[in-house]
Amino acid sequence: MVSLVMMKKKYLKAFALSGIAVFLLATTAQAQITEKAEFGKFAITNVTVHTVIDGVIEGGVVLINGEEIEFVGRNARITSDYQHIDASGKHVYPGFMDAGTQLGLQEIGAVQVTRDQAELGEFNPHVRAFTAINPSSVSIPVTRVNGVTHVVSMPVSGRLSGKATLIDLYGYTPDSMAISPNAAMHLNWPTAMKRGPHDQRSDKEVEEAYQKNIKQLNDLWERAVFYNEMMESYQEGSGDQERPEVQKKLEAMREVISGNIPVIISVDQKKDILNAIAWTEKHPKTHFILAGVQEGWRVADEIAEADLPCLVSTLYTPERDYDNYQRPYQNPAMLHKAGVKVAIATGEIENVRNAPYHAGYAATYGLGREEALKAITLNPAEIFGVDDKLGSIAKGKQANLFISDGDPFEPMTQIEQVFIRGYKIPMVSRHSQLYEEYLNRGAETN
């Protein structure tokens, strides 16, 4: 009994301590960026404009008015109320978009209390990344100063992880950052293969586990379809019907079932990809996107045939030891050549800032600069149905763009100014602030 009390005390103490730690983290986790973003009218002149949808304009002008791009072209009358940015010798690109991340959902990998991307349970269609986006995450300014202005951020645990959100990387609330609060549902495809060299299960056991997982998924799906039909018939009905009981998880599936938001299926190996393709064909009303797809190149034709866009990265080691060492770099190009629409998705959190280099490798290994540029701008915008606003530089589009001193796929290039939703973003992050403070720290007595 004594020990039980002591245990309790100990736990209480530990709890209190962890509470303090959380408080400290929460207060220190506010990025100390005092400079405010500017908003208004901006004229970027003498610049090479990479519009993505309408070629490259040398010696071009981009006018920003409020949230929108007002003009793109060569000759513009610039009135004195525009803040003038002479960008001679520089380039303008649409803000880059990383189509698969957990940015804003995790602050520190090994500190569990800062990890909000992994809810408990296998089926969580009702949980939303949007809810847990921390606008003050130190990783957000770190990311955007590298030219990445938009991310899809997603929950990752269990079978149905929950809903991904598409946000831009400037704002004080998730609401102001969200382009699509519910951008997609995330499904972790159940594997029909062993989990690794240490998986001791027999082939039969592996197959049984797969069948069980598929059955669970199908059961949920069937219930969701039924629930959706029931609710639709109730809503279309004369009003004298009794309202069916609302079920949270099934309610959350309705916009998926009806095709209003797509399902991102994370799947990597050939056999699993083929299983996933066959499964998607049973659900013609729902839109699907494949993500990861590390062995997509093995079944590129099948993926193209099924008309499934792919969210891919390039920085991982080959899936199988006997594959050519270049396959991860070549995967986007091989998918593209088969006719698949590809978008860059790093899968990263604090290093989403490397998304341009993922695209750079794809460009080098067969995709080419132009297509690689699309894969990190217009393609993800189209895949998530927001290309009316994002992914290119054109009149009427949202002003998401950056000025660079060269090719943004090159790590040596500097990103000089980022605009998000028309806001001229302070080019400052935790990382640059530490640089400013410590580069010339001064005498050792400091």
Partner 1 sequence: MTMKRIVLLFLGLCVSFSGYAQEKGSVLITNGTVLTITDGNKENTDVLIENGIITRIGKDIPAPKGIKTVDATGKYVMPGIIDAHSHIAAVDVNEWTHPVTAEVSMEESVNPNDINIYWALAGGVTSIHLMHGSANVIGGQNETLKLRYGSSMNDMRFKDAPRTIKFALGENPTRVHGQGFNVQPRTRMGVEQVIRNHFDAALDYRRDRQDYLDARDAYEKGERESPPVPVARNIRMETLVDIIEGEIRVHCHSYRSDEIMMLMRVFEDYGIKSYTFQHANEAFKIAPELRKNNAYTSVFSDWWAYKFEVYYSTAFNASILNANGVINSINSDSGELIRHLNHEAAKTVHYGETSKQDALKMITINPAIQLGIDEKVGSLEEGKHGDVAIWSGHPLSIYSVAEATFIDGQQYFDRSGDPDDMRLDPDPEGSFAEARKRWYEEHGRRGATCMEGAEIRFSKRGMQF
Please, which residue, 313 or 398, has the CB nearer to partner 1?
Answer: 313
Cβ contact 272:246 at 8 Å: no
The stretch among 8-16, 95-103, 277-285, 374-382 that binds partner 1 (CB under 8 A) is 95-103
Told to check if 305 binds partner 1 by CB under 8 A, we report no
Per the listing, tokens 């990809």 go with: 273
Footprint of partner 1 on 335-354 (CB under 8 A): 345, 347-351, 353-354
Q: Which one-letter DSSP state was computed for residue 128?
A: B
CB of 220 to partner 1, least distance (A): 20
Site track 37-76 with partner 1 (rule: CB under 8 A), x = hit: ----------------------------------------
- Partners of residue 311 on adjacent β-strands: 291, 343
Please, which residue, 149 or 188, has the CB nearer to partner 1?
Answer: 188
Cβ contact 97:136 at 8 Å: no
Please, which residue, 13 or 320, has the CB nearer to partner 1?
Answer: 320
- Of 129, 276, 291, 375, the one binding partner 1 (CB under 8 A) is 291
CB of 404 to partner 1, least distance (A): 11
CB of 75 to partner 1, least distance (A): 34
Distances (CA, A) of 194 to 201, 209, 298: 7, 10, 19
Site track 102-141 with partner 1 (rule: CB under 8 A), x = hit: x---xxxxxx--------------------------xx--
Footprint of partner 1 on 151-190 (CB under 8 A): 154, 156, 188
The stretch among 64-72, 88-96, 98-106, 254-262 that binds partner 1 (CB under 8 A) is 98-106
- Of 22, 274, 315, 338, the one binding partner 1 (CB under 8 A) is 315
- Partners of residue 291 on adjacent β-strands: 266, 311
Told to check if 357 binds partner 1 by CB under 8 A, we report yes
- Of 175, 317, 339, 395, the one binding partner 1 (CB under 8 A) is 317
CB of 324 to partner 1, least distance (A): 4
Distances (CA, A) of 139 to 98, 106, 295, 322: 14, 9, 30, 37
Please, which residue, 294 or 398, has the CB nearer to partner 1?
Answer: 294
Q: Applying CB under 8 A, what is the total number of residues that bind partner 1?
A: 75
Q: Report the candidate in 355, 365, 366 with the shortest Cα–Cα distance to residue 409.
A: 355
Q: How many residues does the chain have?
A: 446
∠ CA 234-240-242 to the nearest 5 degrees? 60
CB of 175 to partner 1, least distance (A): 25
Told to check if 276 binds partner 1 by CB under 8 A, we report no
DSSP annotation string for 75-95: -----TTSEEEE-TT-EEEEP
Footprint of partner 1 on 373-432 (CB under 8 A): 409-414, 430-432
Q: Which one-letter DSSP state was computed for residue 363?
A: I
What is the C-alpha separation between 352 and 167, in angstroms, rounded?
Answer: 13
- Of 53, 316, 366, 385, the one binding partner 1 (CB under 8 A) is 316
Footprint of partner 1 on 183-222 (CB under 8 A): 188, 191, 193-197, 199
What is the C-alpha separation between 446 and 433, in angstroms, rounded?
Answer: 18
- Partners of residue 42 on adjacent β-strands: 64, 83
- Of 33, 99, 220, 293, the one binding partner 1 (CB under 8 A) is 293
What is the C-alpha separation between 219 and 253, in angstroms, rounded?
Answer: 13
If phi over 0 gives left and psi between -120 and 50 gives alpha, with beta otherwise, what is residue 196?
A: left
Please, which residue, 10 or 248, has the CB nearer to partner 1?
Answer: 10
| 210: number of Cβ within 10 Å | 17
- Token pair for residue 201? 């299960």
∠ CA 362-364-366 to the nearest 5 degrees? 70
Spatial CB neighbours of 89, under 8 Å, sequence gap ≥ 6:
46, 405
CB of 26 to partner 1, least distance (A): 13
- Of 227, 361, 402, 419, the one binding partner 1 (CB under 8 A) is 361
